[in-house]
Amino acid sequence: MADLAIVFHWTPSDCADFSLRELMEWRERARKRSGADSDGAGNGARSQASGHPRRR
């Protein structure tokens, strides 16, 4: 649900009545709109590609 909150600016109560299927469909729409990779590494991959090493 965090994906939906970030991309669509929805609160948890906005999604409370969604079925599991609806949540997964909206999550996929949010992923596509945000440009994230299917494994969820969209932002991390971009920062590493730009020369910023990952801290350990």
Q: One-letter amino acid identity for 3?
A: D
d(CA 33, CA 11): 18
* Band of pLDDT at residue 48, cut at 50, 70 and 90: very low
d(CA 28, CA 22): 10
Rounded to an integer, the average pLDDT of 16-34 is: 94
* Band of pLDDT at residue 44, cut at 50, 70 and 90: very low
Kindly tell me the sign of the dihedral angle through the C-alpha atoms of 31, 32, 33, 34. Answer: positive
d(CA 26, CA 7): 10
* Band of pLDDT at residue 39, cut at 50, 70 and 90: low
d(CA 27, CA 9): 13
Q: Does residue 32 have a pLDDT over 60?
A: yes
pLDDT of the residue at 1 = 79
Whole-model pTM? 0.60
